[in-house]
Structure 1
Amino acid sequence: MIKLISTAVFGIALFALSFSQPALSQDGSQGVLEACEPEIKEHCENVTPGEGRLFACLYSYEDRVSPQCANAFDDFADALDFLFANANEALAICAPDIQAQCSDTTVGGGRILTCLSENKGSVSAECQEQIEVFENRFGLN
């Protein structure tokens, strides 16, 4: 029983992280990298990508970025705010469905959300509502 609970909790945590790739890349991190490409080349070219270093570099030059780059940052921040404000509740609601329907799904790249979406008919009504909220927010439906 403890293993099942810890697996569910682990799945819940990874469910939140699973949104980062596709959900946020539409208007998020990839959008920031594309919108801020000139600034990255000018100010952050020598920064090793990963672990938020490019974002930290860009942030340090916030007074010198283009409106396009600044807007992309704002969109990304809004998506992250939504994710962190709503993920805990969604994960708590969907934990049994993640365990039942998606326990074999590799985490990351939105695969848990995709798995739940593909199995909407087999998940609880409450989880279906959460799936729809995230799909609508991130334009995944």
Structure 2
Amino acid sequence: MGKWIAAVLILCFANISIAKGPNDVCAQDRETLCGKVERGEGRVLKCMMENKDKLSADCKAKFEKMKDHAMEMKDACHEDHEKFCANASGGKGRKMKCMMEHKDELSADCRAQMENMKDARKKMRKGN
């Protein structure tokens, strides 16, 4: 998996799954499988991905849904990413920050997918 898709997944999935609450279907899996992993720079997400076969059905479904959204965004934004942010160093959300800094210059498809991702994150937080 490329760094760009990893950045998208981290943006989409990590922020949702780390939030505690009744709608966090991955809380138990995260604690059991990755509880000792240091947070930051996508390490917990990487651990979850490495253990995807061990995830509960609900968490796996959530992960796959966000992965699908991330792939759609990656496809729609690939050219924009190459044009504006190919040289942005990875880690700590720098690539996504770069994309956001250029949001007014991005293609309509990319902007739409970024909005879709934002909406999907909101729905996931609410447990939908």
The TM-score range, normalised by the shorter chain, is: 0.5 to 0.7
Pick one of 28, 47, 50 that aligns with 1:52.
47
The structural deviation recorded for 1:22 is: 4.1
Q: Which runs of 5+ in 2 are unaligned?
A: 38-42, 123-128
**Which residue of structure 1 lines up, in the alignment, with residue 66 of structure 2?**
83
Counterpart-to-counterpart distance in 1, 2:60 and 2:94:
22
When the two structures are superposed, what TM-score results if normalisation uses the length of structure 2?
0.57
Matched, 1:127 2:122: no
Matched, 1:136 2:119: yes
The number of residue pairs the alignment matches comes to 107
Amino acid in structure 1 at the alignment position of 2:71? N
Q: RMSD of aligned C-alpha atoms? A: 3.8
**Which of 1 and 2 has greater Rg?**
1
User: Which string of whole-angstrom CA distances, capped at 9 and with x for unpartnered residues, describes residues 97-139 of structure 1?
Assistant: 0011112222244433332222111111111111111122224
Counterpart-to-counterpart distance in 1, 2:63 and 2:81:
22
Amino acid in structure 2 at the alignment position of 1:103? A
Q: Which runs of 5+ in 1 are unaligned?
A: 1-9, 63-69
When the two structures are superposed, what TM-score results if normalisation uses the length of structure 1?
0.53
Question: Which stretches of structure 1, 4 residues or longer, exceed 6 Å deviation after superposition?
Answer: none
Q: Percent identity over the alignment? A: 18
